[in-house]
Amino acid sequence: MKKIILALDIYDLAKAQKLIDETADFVDIYKVGPILFLQDGKEIIKTIKERGKEVFLDLKFHDIPATVSRSVESARDLGVYSLTVHSSGGEEMLKAAVSVQNRPKIWAVTVLTSQIASPNEVIKRAKLSQSCGTDGVIASPLEIELIKKGCGKNFEAITPGIRPAKTDDDQKRTATPQAAIKDGADFIVIGRPIIEAESPRKAAEIIYRDISLSYINDKYGHI
Ligand code: C5P
């Protein structure tokens, strides 16, 4: 599975379809969040799956345990690959989410990457999520290494806050794609740097090639 998850943070189904077609060579998983889901939820999920790609449903569930487990059931019935819950929902809520039969992967949000957070707080939430049975967590690229050390290699770490170059937007805890992969991120979630690029295909391709090269260098030494 390719490591870029493209965040389809747009309002328009036709534009989303175009973005998928343009980036399909470099992306296997597309993230659908509330912006697009509330416009064209079922249609966009169908579109992604028809193209042989996977859906990461990023609705960040945070509710009473019964509502969250039923939401996970509904997401499962849509055939999504993974979804998010908020770790701050607590132990009972997290356990209710993972208890669903044949469920998608569950990734718990530690602390939003737009907020300042101490690494201790992030690790505490990652460990709680792991102990409740989630498959991994969403964290900033700056905490990936710590999470892998604290929770083990098999506990997935997915990171937004990826910026190929320094930008001045709402993301506070950022890193380059190469740095995030080097630190052990299983997937990197990228939105604006690709979807707002003049050529989304080119932007995706450049990031894809950069991280593939850094992965090879890391594994086999510099080539
Ligand atoms: O445009 P940008 O690359 O900042 O997009 C990052 C995506 O990751 C957004 O869709 C945002 O909702 C999501 N995200 C995040 N921080 C989290 C969890 C998800 O930025 N902790």
Amino acid at 116: I
Name the closest-CA residue to atom 11, ligand 1: 160
Count CA within 13 A, CB hemisphere, residue 100: 25
Residues 134 and 148 sit within 8 Å (Cβ to Cβ): no
Low-confidence ranges of the chain (pLDDT < 70): 166-168, 173, 214-216, 218-219, 221-223
- Domain of residue 39 covers 4-220
The active-site residue out of 53, 60, 105, 172 is 60
CA of 191 to the centre of ligand 1 (A): 7
For residue 215, what pLDDT is reported?
A: 64
CATH assignment of the domain containing 196:
3.20.20.70
Atom of ligand 1 nearest to the CA of 111: 21
Number of domains in the chain: 1
| Helix, strand and coil percent figures for the chain, each rounded to 5 | 50, 15, 35
For residue 216, what pLDDT is reported?
A: 67
Active site residue 18: no
CA of 192 to the centre of ligand 1 (A): 9
For residue 219, what pLDDT is reported?
A: 66
